[in-house]
Chains A and B, each alone.
Chain A
Amino acid sequence: MDTQTNPNPQASAGGEFSRPRHWVSLDELTPEYWASSADQEARGQEFLHKPIETLAAMEKTSSFPLQRRDFLTLMGASMAMTGFACARRPVEKIIPYVVKPEELTPGVANLYASTDPGVYGGFGVLVKTREGRPIKLEGNPDHPVNGTALSARVQASILDLYDPDRLAAPVTVASGRPSPISWAEADAAIAERLKKAARVRVLTPGVSSPSTRKLIQEFLASFEDGKHVQWEPNHSSDRVAAQEECYGDGGLTAYRLDQADLVVSFGSDFLGADAHAEAHARQWFRKRDLRGQKHSDARMSRLVSFESTLTLTGSNSDERHAVNAGDEVKVALAVAHEIIVASQHSALAGDAPTREALRDFSAAKVAVDVGIAEEAIKKVARELWEARGRGLVVGGDMHAGSADAFKLHLAVNLLNSALENDGATVDYAAFAPNAGLASGWRDYSALIAEMQAGRVDVLLVQGLNPAYLYGRATGFVDALSKVNTVVHVSDRVDETGIHAHFVLPEHHFLENWGDHEPRAGVLSLQQPTVHPLNATRSFQDILLGLIRAGKLSASGLALRMAGSEGGWHAYLRENWKSSVYPSHGRGLPFEEFWVDVLQKGVLVTGGGSRELPPRRFKTYALRSLLKGRAAKMDEIRLALYLKSTLGDGSQANNGWLQEMPDPVSTVTWDNHLNVGPSLAAQLKLKQNDMVRVSVGEASVEVPVLVQPGMPASTVSLAVGYGRKHAGAIGNGVGADAFSLVTLDSERRPVFAGNPVKVEKLGWKYELALTQGHHRALGRPIVNDVTLDEYRRDPAAEMHTNPHLRPKSVPTLWPVHEYKGYRWGMAVDQTACTGCGACVIACQAENNIPIVGRDRVRMSREMHWIRIDRYYSGSEENPDVIFQPMMCQHCENAPCETVCPVLATTHNDEGLNDMTYNRCVGTRYCQNNCPYKVRRFNFFDHWKDYRGNQNLLWNPEVTVRTRGVMEKCTFCVHRIQETKNLTKTEGRKLRDGELKTACQQTCPTDAIAFGDINDPNSRVSRLRADARAFRSLEELNAKPAISYLTKVRNKEKGATSHGEHH
Chain B
Amino acid sequence: MLGNFGQLSVGQKIAGALVACLVLTLVGAGVVYVFPTASNQGYAPEQPIPFSHKLHAGTHKIDCRYCHVGVTESRHATVPSVSVCMNCHRVVKAESPWIQQIKKHYDEKKPIEWVRVHRLPDHARFNHQAHVRKGLDCKACHGDVGQMEKVRQVGALSMGWCLQCHRGMDVSSSVLSAAKPGADPAHPGELAPYQCSTCHY
Contact = CB atoms under 8 A, between A and B. Distances in A.
20 contacts: A83-B28, A86-B38, A89-B38, A93-B116, A95-B112, A96-B111, A97-B83, A98-B82, A107-B75, A107-B78, A907-B197, A909-B195, A911-B195, A913-B195, A917-B124, A969-B197, A976-B197, A983-B133, A983-B187, A986-B185
A686 interface: no
Interface string B15-31: 00110011011001000
Contacts of B40: 89
A105 B70 contact: yes
A905 B70 CA distance: 32
Contact of B70 (A95, A106, A907, A957): A106
B81 A77 contact: no
Contact of B184 (A86, A98, A983): A983
Interface in A429-473: none
Contacts of A984: 129, 133
A89 B37 CA distance: 11
Interface stretch (B55-63, B93-101, B102-110, B139-147): B102-110
B24 A108 contact: no
A158 B69 CA distance: 31
Interface string B57-80: 000000000000110011110111
Contacts of A73: 14, 18
Interface string B138-176: 000000000000000000000000000000000000000
B184 A92 contact: no
Given A77-B21, A94-B116, 14 more contacts: A80-B24, A84-B24, A98-B81, A98-B109, A105-B78, A107-B75, A908-B195, A913-B200, A915-B123, A916-B123, A958-B200, A976-B127, A976-B201, A986-B186
B196 interface: yes
Contacts of B84: 100
B73 A108 contact: yes
Contacts of B133: 983-984
A972 interface: yes
A99 interface: yes
B116 A915 contact: no
A107 B74 contact: yes
A76 B109 CA distance: 47
A81 B69 CA distance: 42
A897 interface: no
Contacts of A1018: none
A80 B83 contact: no
A907 to B, nearest CB: 4
Contact of A917 (B112, B114, B122): B122
Contacts of A1016: none
B115 interface: yes
Interface in A79-138: 80-81, 83-84, 86, 89, 91-100, 105-108
A97 B67 CA distance: 13
Top 10 closest pairs, chain A to chain B, by CB: A80-B21, A107-B74, A97-B81, A907-B195, A92-B116, A917-B123, A913-B196, A107-B75, A107-B76, A100-B81
Interface footprint category on B: 35 or more
B133 to A, nearest CB: 6
A94 B21 contact: no
Given A973-B201, A976-B197, A77 B79 contact: no
Most chain B C-beta atoms within 10 Å of own C-beta, residue among A957, A969, A986: A986
B18 A77 contact: yes
Contact of B200 (A91, A915, A983): A915
Contacts of B178: none
A96 B80 contact: yes
A908 B196 CA distance: 10
A93 B113 contact: yes
Interface in A467-505: none
A987 interface: yes
B115 to A, nearest CB: 6
A911 B196 CA distance: 10
Contacts of B76: 106-107
A179 interface: no
B130 A980 contact: yes
B160 to A, nearest CB: 14
B42 to A, nearest CB: 13
Contacts of B201: 913-914, 957-958, 969, 972-973, 976
B74 A988 contact: no
Nearest to A78: B21
A99 B81 contact: yes
B45 interface: yes
A77 B17 contact: yes
A982 interface: yes
A969 to B, nearest CB: 6
Contact of A99 (B25, B79, B83): B83
Given A917-B122, A983-B130, A988-B186, A96 B200 contact: no
A106 B187 CA distance: 27
Contacts of B184: 983, 986
A375 B197 CA distance: 59
Contacts of B18: 73, 76-77, 80
Contacts of B121: 917
Contacts of A972: 197, 201
Contacts of A980: 127, 129-130
B196 A94 contact: no
Contacts of B80: 96, 100
Contacts of B197: 907, 911, 913, 915, 969, 972, 976
Given A83-B24, A969-B197, A94 B79 contact: yes
A105 B195 CA distance: 27
Contacts of B116: 91-94
Contacts of A106: 70, 74, 76, 78
Interface string A608-642: 00000000000000000000000000000000000
